[in-house]
Amino acid sequence: MKHITFILAIVFLSIGYAANAQTEAQKVEICSGTAGPDASYLKDFVVDLPAAQGDEKAPTAKYSLILQKDTKYRITICTDDDSPGKGYVQLLDTNSLLGSSFNPQTGKEYKGFDFDCQKSSVYHIFIQFQEGKAGKSIVILSFIKKL
Amino acid sequence: MIKRLTYLFLCSVFVFYSCKSGVKKSKGEFGENDSIKADSALPVSKEAMADLVQNISSPIEMAALIKSLGVPFSQKYLAPTNHLDNFNTNTSKAVNLGIFGADLGYINMYSKTSTVLSYISAVKTLADGINVGQFFDFTTLKRLATNNENIDSLMYISIHSFNVMDEYLRKNNRSNLSALMIAGVYIEGLYLMTQVAKEKPNKKLAESIGDQKIIFEQMLLILKNYQKDPYFKDFIANMETLKKEFSEIKITIEMGEPKSVEKNGMLTIIQTSKSTVHITDEQLKRIISQTEIIRNKLIK
């Protein structure tokens, strides 16, 4: 009986894994679609972060990317339905904050923001979850138009 | 009962590994050994490399710039797809995979579905050649191109497939090939821009070419990480001549605080810091010429 249970567990885990692998690609495609009909997908950032422990800072996923002058970009975030925390994305230039999809002072949230880039440079995307909770999110970088 | 369960188990194991076909392969599975097998001994760590290369070159931005200038599509700028057999090393396959990827972006931007098929096939052949073909959804792309339907999906799948191939290479100690693929995209993008500038001089395009100095420096930094490899050594030597041309271009920056504008619930960040590119006709001419030399060497 133990063998049967073990085998069944393997079967379900395997099927579950395959189904999950498909879901992630689909989630990226769906999230890319939320950027709007004027947006062309460039890059996705899939994050799965643990909760902050005690007094430590909220875990942050950090990515560096090059954005080009005279270009309008859109940065969109989609948080998984079963994610404990609500994700938000920030755009930084060296160490100064340019924009965020969440304003902790007002509590206002956006599904993302457009960025009118006027300077080609290395920029940084930070992804965090409100109140340092654990969470899963997808961030999509899209091209909108040349300015 | 046990027999049935054993059968079911074997089937599930088969399903499991089929679905994971692109996830992990031992080094021995690759048809040809990469010249640099592991990233562990690299001067820049694997993590730092991954950090450097996000969105370093995108065919979309380059093609959109050309299109926004009202320049018509031209097939003559594209790399020929009729001598793929010449690319018989993993390094040459990877760099040309990037070159054809950039061409694919240019073709898609102009919705030239009649041209796209041979480029999709070329990308698939080269991707298979370095064992990342499973991430390139050739069947769907071919159907979309053949039926002349949904250009947005064609564009999405093409770009997403390249991102997945790139990520796979980097995660599997083959970031040398990822670097070459990205360099291929970059060089072909620069080639397309410079060829257009050569035939239809335009101030905005000239400045955008000069502005590539920023990306070029990052690109060279990545390539130098693998300079012990003879293919990279040669590639870098060619790129150094272009670096010399780019180093003469002056970019001035005017600093400013970003502004936020909210309209219809959508937030827009307007950057007020601004860079200005100072490029002379002579400098542009030399960049055009040098880019042509490098690109044509790569596609030989």
pLDDT class of B38 with cuts at 50, 70, 90: very low
Neighbouring-strand partners of residue A47: A137
Q: Is B211 on the interface with A (CB under 8 A)?
A: yes
Provide the pLDDT for residue B151. Answer: 79
pLDDT tens, B52-105?
556 677 888 889 999 999 999 999 999 999 989 999 999 999 999 999 999 998
Q: To which H or E segment does residue A10 belong?
A: helix A2-34
- Secondary structure (3-state) at B149: coil
How many other C-beta atoms are found inside a 10 Å radius of the C-beta of residue B57? 26
> Could you give the CA distance from residue B259 to residue A99 in angstroms, rounded to a whole number?
9
Residue ranges covered by each domain of chain B? 40-201+279-298
User: C-alpha B88: how far from its chain's center?
Assistant: 19
User: What per-residue string of b and e applies to A32-59 under the rule 16 or more CB within 10 Å gives b?
Assistant: bbebeeebbbbbbbbbebeebeeeeebb
> Could you give the CA distance from residue B76 to residue A141 in angstroms, rounded to a whole number?
31
Q: Given a cut of 50, is residue B193 above it in pLDDT? A: yes
What average pLDDT does this structure show over B246-264?
92
> Could you give the CA distance from residue B169 to residue B30 in angstroms, rounded to a whole number?
12
Q: Is B65 on the interface with A (CB under 8 A)?
A: yes
Q: Which amino acid is at B76?
A: K
Tokens of B86: 């010449």
Per-residue 3-state assignment (H helix, E strand, C coil) for A70-125: CEEEEEEEEECCCCCCCEEEEEEECCEEEEECEECCCCEECCEEEEEECCCEEEEE
Q: Given a cut of 70, is residue B41 above it in pLDDT? A: no
What average pLDDT does this structure show over B28-48?
45
Maximum distance among all alpha carbons in chain B? 81
Q: Which domain holds residue A76?
A: 2-146
Q: Phi and psi at residue A108, in whole multiples of 5°?
A: -75, 135
Task: Note the helical H segments in chain B.
Answer: 2-19, 46-52, 59-68, 90-109, 113-129, 138-146, 151-171, 175-199, 203-224, 230-247, 281-298
Q: Given a cut of 80, is residue A140 above it in pLDDT? A: yes
Which of these ranges, A42-56, B19-33, B194-208, has the smallest mean pLDDT?
Answer: B19-33
Provide the pLDDT for residue B129. Answer: 93
Which residues, in sequence order, are CB contacts of B53 under 8 Å at separation 6+?
A: B166, B170, B178, B179, B182, B222
Which of these ranges, A128-142, B33-47, B130-144, has the smallest mean pLDDT?
Answer: B33-47
Residue of B nearest to A98 (CA): B258
pLDDT class of B248 with cuts at 50, 70, 90: very high
User: C-alpha B102: how far from its chain's center?
Assistant: 6
Instruction: List the end-to-end C-alpha distance of chain A, in Å, as a whole number.
Output: 67
pLDDT tens, A16-72?
544 555 478 899 999 999 999 999 999 999 999 999 998 889 999 999 899 999 999
Q: Is B84 on the interface with A (CB under 8 A)?
A: no
Report the relative pairing of strands B266-270 and A112-117 from DSSP bridges: parallel
pTM to 2 decimals? 0.82
Provide the pLDDT for residue B3. Answer: 53
User: C-alpha B126: how far from its chain's center?
Assistant: 13
Tokens of B274: 């601004």
Provide the pLDDT for residue B90. Answer: 94
pLDDT tens, A73-123?
999 999 999 999 999 999 999 878 999 999 888 889 999 999 999 999 989
pLDDT class of A3 with cuts at 50, 70, 90: low
Q: State how many domains chain A has.
A: 1
A109: CATH = 2.60.120.380
Q: Is B60 on the interface with A (CB under 8 A)?
A: yes
Interface of A with B in 80-139 (CB under 8 A): 91, 93, 98-99, 101, 110, 112-122
Q: To which H or E segment does residue B262 belong?
A: strand B259-263
Nearest to B288 by CA among B222, B218, B200: B200
Greater pLDDT, B258 or B5: B258
Q: Is B214 on the interface with A (CB under 8 A)?
A: yes
Q: Do B64 and A3 touch (CB under 8 A)?
A: no
Residue of B nearest to A29 (CA): B156
User: What per-residue string of b and e applies to A85-117 under the rule 16 or more CB within 10 Å gives b?
Assistant: bbbbbbbbbeeeebbbbbeeeeeeebbbbbbbb
